[in-house]
Structure formats: structure tokens, C-alpha cells
Structure 1
């Protein structure tokens, strides 16, 4: 107990330590997940070219899960990368070491674009002691007014952005435009990756379908039994012309095994779960005809690549991360357990009601996903 108290005291005292100078450098902090970064990353160029931040060196402190994307696609906008597992911020000793490392770099400006902030992360930013700390006024996760005030006091500037009824990409656009004062249409959702023409030639008669059976939480996963039935139905519908690719992380290997264990021999399927890097997964999605996925970062990757997708969602974070606005991605169909998600007059109500959804994702029928997949396949072909 004494060690914990000493570490806690040492952590709080870090704020009192100031370097006698600042560099002209910027630290951008994104410690959330792959999908969040996909919906933000195209704004990095706006920061780079803006009068406010041009000629500054930019460092990204990021969640290591999207390291491959940032280092391969965003290295022209970011000068330096620091990668961490965000869980270290729950460990005072590791957090103190990281703060000391960042303090010694004497950043002039910290930018935290995350719209749903937590006080522990805000205090972490405060203790780095940059001259400026810019955040999104967004939505502090602090219910108590006193904690909310403490959270907001960690910043020298808070940028007001639209509420949760606005899709996350457009909230990011609003933040970047207010931050940079650049109001134009250059901020697009895209990953600059050419289609593999040889892959298309080699499989010109095939329909390539990527399926993601995993998700960050069990309540967001459509059952493997449903996925198996869907694969068989699609394969039969298109006279065995489909090639199915299962993708996901190493923690989801068991899901792929459950599906493949019961796949009929006449179905062509490749289980890639736990076998591909993030960049390889992006390449596979880029050269596929369709993605079928639970609501994961892979749906946002598909949107950025202009790959048609069926998103299976229990309605969690409705309005913020789903459904995709047609103006942003016209080939993404999102399916929900109940029909009233599709009623415009209930949109605002659903945003409030399903910020955290308790609907059963398995109430979405195999037939409804099958019909959505058919619609997109036939639209593309």
C-alpha cells in the first residue's frame, strides 16, 4: 500500500516540474482503436499544411494496434512515432516513466482530438506540461460537475464540436477545421491503395468475400452458426463461385475454427484469422468484392477503400459510428436487430437510447444479411 501511495504522490508531483524552455514541436495523442484512427487520419495533412502548425515537427503518440497503418500511409504527415499499449496508463510506474520521457521533449503543443474524454487521460496530458494543450470539448465522461471542471482545466483550449448524433468522421472534420481554420473539401475518408489488377484477372470469375466473425466484445459478435449458414447460402446462390476469406486477430482464432470445422467440402474458404498483419488484411479487403463484418475497425477500412460492406450491428453507439452516411460511403449497408433504426423520425431518439445498446445482435436474421450481401454483390457486378 505504501508503494502505491508513493507512486501516486510522485505522479501528482510531476505537474510541478517544468523545463525552462519549449521546443516548437507538436504531440498528437490517439490512444483509441483502429477504426477511430481511420476516421481521423486524413485530417493530419490539414494540420501539416495549416498556417497555425506549418514548419512544426509532429509526433504521434499512438495505440500500437494501428502502428502499421500510420507508419506506412501517414509518414509524410508525421515526423516521429511513439507507440504504446494504452493499458500502461493504468500503471503508475510506467505512466510516470512515459510522462518523464515526454516532458524531456518539451513539446510546445499537445493535440488530443478524442471527443469522449476520460479524466485520467486528461491529467496525463496536463502533467506533460506543454505550453498549449488543445482538446475536443466533445463529451467528458465525468458525471460530477467538479470532476468535469478538473478535466477541462487540463487544457488551454477546448474546441466545440457537434454532438453524438453526428457521425464520427464529420465530428473529426469539424475539430480539424476549427483547429486549423482550413475550411475546404480536402479532408476525405480514404486509404490511398491501388487495386491489384492481377488479382482481379486471376479471379475474374470469382466473387471474393471477406468475413470478420470477431469483435471487441461478445455482445457485438454475430454467432458463428449464423456466419456458417450465411456462407453456405451465398455459395449456393452463386453456384460455388464464391471465395471466402476469414480475417481477424489471434485472439479470435477459435471463431475461425468453429466455422471451418463445419464447412461443407464444396465451399472454398481460407481461414486467415491470426495469420495476417494489419497491412495484409487491408490488402485483402481492398481486392475483395464484399466485406461482411460485425461492427469493427474493418468496416471503416472498407469504407476508406471504397469496398462494399455489410455491417452487422447491435446498435451500440448508433449515430456516432453507425450507420454510414451515404454521402461518405454509399456501398455500406448496416443491419440492426430491430427495424426502427431505419426510421428517420426516430433517429435522435435512437442516438440517445442506444449509446450503449442491450439489443441481441443474433436477432438479425441470416436471411436479412444474405439479402443485403446480394444487393451489394449485384450492384458491383
Structure 2
């Protein structure tokens, strides 16, 4: 019995692996255009998180030849994960690749690195991160199967600027003309917005449970909103119960939790007078779309990397409200750096109610959207 030999790709092919969350993708996607221009003679395949597949299809398909979504919940499933890994590997291995690019390794060690390790390619490119000696990532950090590593030890902290640095090194040009933006796609024809004429949006969800705001805080804030505005609730299946409880506690609430697709959510956001959100992908969507004002409730996990936005990327309509404990530490000498160390890895759980937190958010929204603090 003879084994069939893998054939070399008939044309040059590039596989880009990006399996992290919506916010990460928002801050990455603007660099697909210069990547397409530089790799014009390549067939480009993007492996992405299925959670934002709609956005990739609607906004970025012009820069890609193939898009392969991966269901991250199935990928990390204890029961079905192994077989799902094999399925994705088989699907990807049906095509041969000249080059594999992993723009960011650290946050998806069991996904991005996994695929890059087992898929054959002549060139495998990744970024070289700097890790502290006690970082548990070091236990699994084996980059030897990569042929090229882009040194990001001098890269800016904020994610968009860091991506610009990585791609300028990869493509050999400064990319100063690349701006942070997202063009609003057309509204699906089978969806009619039930939203009122004048409303604000509360986004309840977050990728980590510890970044979700306490239910009592949401209710307190909803009751403080100016009566001339309705409050539209948005979220995923994980926030259905919270949405129902907020709806019962405040008569001016429209509950759209689990009732919109990602593209439909974008259009709900685009018509809102204000957006209040946890530290999730939604504020990044809103900033890329040029929407606002946006009020971000943060537990400090993404400090420096995802919050706050640097001045050159934002406007005065972007506001971060940190947990009162973080605010106090920020006022001390070297407070920003101390907060980055103290509150990384979602150490602060926002589900635990703080009596002053809702009031601090209301103060930021006063007097335009809150009547009484």
C-alpha cells in the first residue's frame, strides 16, 4: 500500500489564522487591505472566529479568497473538542499553503498555535512576544516550528497601533495611511428595526463573565436615564435572564437580547443616541463606525491594550468608567502601570455590585442622557 504524497500548491497561497474575539478582529481588519495589495498574487484564506463571521463576509470578503469560520465553543469543548480539532485540520489540509501567518499568538495558544503547528507550509510567520518570567504561557511557548518571527518587543501597547507595527514590519512599509474605520454594510432585507425614534443602547454581554456588570448596577442606571430616551438592551444567549429582569424593573426598556444578528446589532448601534457597554467587542465596533457617545464599563483587564483609546484614534465621545477601586489606584504615583499589573487576567469581578459604580457612570452621562444623578 502506498501513501499518497501531498502535492505542492499550484499557486502561491497564504493562510491567516485569527481566532480571538470581535474586538481583536475590529482592531486588526483594516490591515487586510495592505496585506491583499502586497500579496496580490497569492490566494488568501482567513481562518476566523465564527462569532464575527458576518462582519468578515460583509466588510472584508473583497480582500480574501476563502473564509473559514471556527466555532470556538466547540473548539474548547471538553466532550467534542478533539474531534472538532480533527475536522478543522482536515478541512484546512485539503489545500496546501505556501505561507501561514499568525499575527498574534499569545491569546489563542490552544487554537492559532495548534493549527500553525500541524498544518504544513514552507513559511510560517508569527510575532515574538515578551513574557514575564512567571507568565504561565512560558510553559507552552514553543515557537520552533515557525520559520520567521516578527519582534514586537518595541511595538506600541494599544492593539491597533501594535497591529500597524506588525504589518509594517511584515510588508516592509510604514502604513501611515491606514486608519481605523469600518463602513456600515447594508441592512438585511428581512429585518425591520423595532427600535423607537429616540433611544440609547445597553450592551450587557462580555467574552469573560467577570467583565459583566452587576445586574443591580444596570437596573440603577436604567432608572436614571432621561425619560425622553428609551433603553434598548442587546446581548447574547448568556444575557437573556439579565435582560428579562432589567425589562421588568424599568418600563422604558425594549429587550432585544438574543434577537439580533451581529450585522443587525451594528444597525441598532448606528441609530442610537448613546451606547453603554461592558469592555467587549461592541465599543470597538462603535469606534470603528464613528459612533458615539460610547460609555465603556471596565474592570481594567484590557488597560493599555484595549482601553482607553489613544487620542489619535478617538474623539471626545469616548468615555471609560473604571471600577471605583481602579480609579483610586490610578490617582497614585505610577498608577496606570500599577493597575495594568494588578487587574490583568480579569482579576476584578464586575458582577459583584459596588454601591457607587452606577452613580459614576450616570455622572459621565449627565446632563445629556441622565436627568437626576
Residue 374 (structure 1) aligns with: 366
Q: 1:120 offset after TM fit, Å?
A: 3.8
Report the more deviating stretch, 132-141 or 274-283: 132-141
Residue 199 (structure 1) aligns with: none
The answer on 1:231 being equivalent to 2:226 is no
Distance in 2 (alpha carbons) for counterparts of 1:303 and 1:343:
29
Residue 56 (structure 2) aligns with: 70
Distance in 2 (alpha carbons) for counterparts of 1:144 and 1:194:
38
Residue 40 (structure 1) aligns with: 28
Distance in 1 (alpha carbons) for counterparts of 2:333 and 2:364:
20
Residue 192 (structure 2) aligns with: none
Distance in 2 (alpha carbons) for counterparts of 1:295 and 1:164:
23
Q: 1:355 offset after TM fit, Å?
A: 1.7
**Is the 8 Å Cα contact of residues 129 and 153 (structure 2) preserved in structure 1?**
yes
SS where residue 283 of structure 2 aligns?
helix
List 4+ stretches of structure 1 deviating above 6 A. none
Q: Once the two structures are superposed, what CA deviation does each residue of 1:32-74 show, in whole Å capped at 9, x if it has no partner? A: 1111111111110010112xx1221111111110010000000
1:15-26 to 2 correspondences below 5 Å: 19-22=6-9, 23-26=11-14
1:1-381 to 2 correspondences below 5 Å: 19-22=6-9, 23-50=11-38, 53-89=39-75, 91-117=81-107, 119-121=109-111, 122-138=113-129, 143=136, 147-148=140-141, 151-162=142-153, 166-193=157-184, 207-235=198-226, 240-264=227-251, 267=252, 269-308=253-292, 309-330=294-315, 331-337=317-323, 338-339=326-327, 340-341=329-330, 345-361=334-350, 362-363=353-354, 365-374=357-366
Distance in 2 (alpha carbons) for counterparts of 1:17 and 1:351:
52
Q: 1:356 offset after TM fit, Å?
A: 2.1
Q: TM-score, normalised by structure 1?
A: 0.82
SS where residue 74 of structure 1 aligns?
helix
Q: 1:17 offset after TM fit, Å?
A: 9.4
Q: Once the two structures are superposed, what CA deviation does each residue of 1:202-249 show, in whole Å capped at 9, x if it has no partner? A: xxx9642110122233321212222122122122xxxx2112111111
**Is the 8 Å Cα contact of residues 156 and 162 (structure 2) preserved in structure 1?**
no
Q: What is the number of equivalent residue pairs in this alignment?
A: 346
Distance in 1 (alpha carbons) for counterparts of 2:105 and 2:333:
25
Q: TM-score, normalised by structure 2?
A: 0.84
SS where residue 66 of structure 1 aligns?
helix
Q: CA RMSD in A?
A: 3.0
Distance in 2 (alpha carbons) for counterparts of 1:146 and 1:218:
26
**Is the 8 Å Cα contact of residues 214 and 255 (structure 1) preserved in structure 2?**
no
Q: Which consecutive residues of structure 1, in runs of 5 or more, have no partner in the other structure? A: 1-15, 197-204
Q: Kindly tell me: are residues 228 and 18 of structure 1, through their superposed partners in 2, closer, same or farther at Cα, counting changes over 3 Å? A: farther
Higher helix share: 1
